[in-house]
Chain A
Amino acid sequence: MEKDGQQGCQQCGKSAEGLSGAAPSNDPEQSRRSLLSWLLGGGVAASLASFFYPVIHFLNPPHISEAAVDEVSGGKVEDLKPNSGKIVRFGNKPALLVRVSDTEWKALSAVCTHLNCTVQYQPSTRLIWCACHNGMYDLTGRVVSGPPPKPLDEYAVKVRGDEVVISRRA
């Protein structure tokens, strides 16, 4: 479209102007042409910018650079005393982390299998209790008494250094 200093076609003898098919110039035509060039150049530039803007931002890694994986941190080891438990969010559901003793940890789904209330650890009985209808589970998730029809799912707990990590069982 713009003359770029070509020699023209060797084969058929067309001139550079002839190749680009440019019309002969005259004044009103020229101003229309330059408006058109501006419109075209501007449109192309603007649209390309609107394509590159998201791509550039995409390439910039977000602040939280790690994806949520199939495990979650249960906090520091010293945050939880022996014979106590706490609720940790795992995926979209609550999980119950129980420190049974200095070295033994247990993690289970905290969603009661009766009517989906959130269960809690009961240090006095060393059992898991649901406050809604008095359902009781043992530390492997099995139903001890009360209305729950199914046991709680167990998760795997690992201690990495001073951090407790809960993950789904293989």
Chain B
Amino acid sequence: MRAPFIALLLAPLGLLAQQAAKNSCLNCHSALDGEAQRPALLIKNDVHTTNGLGCADCHGGDPASDDPGVAMNPAKGFIGKPARTAIPKLCARCHSDPNFMRKFRPQQRVDQFELYQTSVHGKRLAEGDENVATCIDCHSVHEIRAVKDPAAPVYPLHLPETCARCHADSKKMAKYGIPTNQFAEYQTSVHWNALKVRGDLSAPTCASCHGNHGAKPPQVESVAAVCGSCHVLFAQLYQKSVHEPIFSAASGGGGCIVCHSNHGIHQPSTAMLEGPKAVCSQCHDAGTPGAKTAVEMAGWLDGLDSALKHSESVLAEADKAGMEVSEAQAKLSDGRDDLVKARLALHAFQPVDMKKPIDAGMAVASETLHAGQAALHEKDVRRMGLAISVVFIGITIFAIWALIRRLEPKGGLPRDASTTPR
């Protein structure tokens, strides 16, 4: 009986609570359609919403009022749809404020805008070019997700496609004179394969080499350093090699790019050293010491690879025949390590550096080959032993059969053997 009275008393409190969390922007725009409705539909997936921020925190205005004149009043700070040139500064209002960002994520970086201003995108935007990328072009707008969210456009798996939206569009890039084949080339690379096929999120994407907010192609002198951030030993050897000063002076990018290309980096092989697609022969004419060295090193690498493959197949054959060769197969992995070391040593471009791992690898290949051949021989010995044993057994069986025949003359058993069954 008392319930209705209590409800009436508490009702105003409810209205008050509603007003405190009210978001009139969302309420109105959800009811619209087309482009005006889109932000209201998307915003629930936005990372800002999860952190308690709303439309007015970026666009200004008064979300407490249902009256559009009040809600979207410039006097209340409403800025409407910001101009493209104003977007980075708008985002930076919060994202460059360490005191503000600390409230949500203390370790969040706050230098994105600063970096952006050093980038090609940032510089051109400052000059008034609206066609370059701003924050919302990469991070999307109204549906901004954290970088580690797999649905984010800047998640490593999606990042190349996001960059390619402009950089693979020849119409957009025409006025800047930038090629548009980078994404297509990148899709043929080992890095893209590692990312897409193997799911290795540590594989480099556009941002790994070019930077993200401060995006710029690495300069000639820093290419090796950039590749060397993962491929440390290769870069170290290269820096000390004869090629370093020569490639650095070259135009169109230097360092690792000269042989391995920048975007379409394929799985290296000895075809780069010798043959029609060789890289070395682009500078080293046939017959020169350089060309001879390239051919020699290619021969060593191919030789070791085929020796290891041969050992692998012999051991696999022995394994299939039931012989125990797990120890030799484990030793073989040392040989594979030596091949990797030899390919690394190549980047010093001195044959003497490659000789040691090649010799070590060949020793392993030879040792494991002997183990495999011994196992196969042992298998033959066992079969021979079996054959001998079966022959003796066969002789015995034949002799027993002959004995039976002798004990039981033709026409049945000895006549005096019948007794009634029990």
Contact = CB atoms under 8 A, between A and B. Distances in A.
> Touch between A and B in complex, CB under 8 Å?
yes
A156 B406 CA distance: 72
Interface stretch (B12-20, B35-43, B226-234, B250-258): B226-234
B195 to A, nearest CB: 11
A39 B202 contact: no
Contacts of B232: 131, 134
Interface string A81-93: 0000000010011
A146 B230 contact: yes
B393 interface: yes
B326 interface: yes
Nearest to B326: A92
Contact of A50 (B389, B400, B407): B389
Interface in A136-167: 146-149
A17 to B, nearest CB: 12
A23 B410 CA distance: 13
Interface string B321-340: 00000110110000001001
Contacts of A36: 399, 402-403, 406
A8 interface: no
B200 A147 contact: yes
B402 to A, nearest CB: 5
Interface SS of chain B: helix
Interface residues of B, number: 34
Interface in B388-422: 388-389, 392-393, 395-400, 402-403, 406-407, 409, 414, 416
A46 B406 contact: no
Contact of B395 (A46, A89, A132): A46
A106 B231 CA distance: 27
B398 A39 contact: yes
A55 interface: no
B393 A47 contact: yes
B231 A92 contact: no
A92 B332 CA distance: 10
Interface residues of A, number: 31
A122 to B, nearest CB: 11
A89 B333 CA distance: 11
A118 B329 CA distance: 16
B392 A47 contact: yes
Given A92-B330, A147-B202, A39 B395 contact: yes
A134 B230 contact: yes
B202 A43 contact: no
Contacts of B233: 131
A23 B337 contact: no
Contacts of B229: 134
Contact of B399 (A40, A51, A89, A133): A40
A1 interface: yes
Interface string B198-209: 001111000000
Nearest to A133: B230
Contacts of B392: 43, 46-47, 49-50
A44 interface: yes
6 contacts: A40-B400, A43-B396, A50-B385, A114-B200, A146-B202, A149-B200
Q: What are the nearest 5 A-B pairs in CB distance?
A: A147-B202, A43-B396, A40-B399, A43-B395, A92-B330
Given A36-B406, A50-B389, 14 more contacts: A1-B403, A32-B406, A36-B402, A40-B399, A43-B397, A44-B399, A46-B395, A49-B392, A50-B392, A131-B344, A132-B340, A133-B202, A134-B229, A148-B202
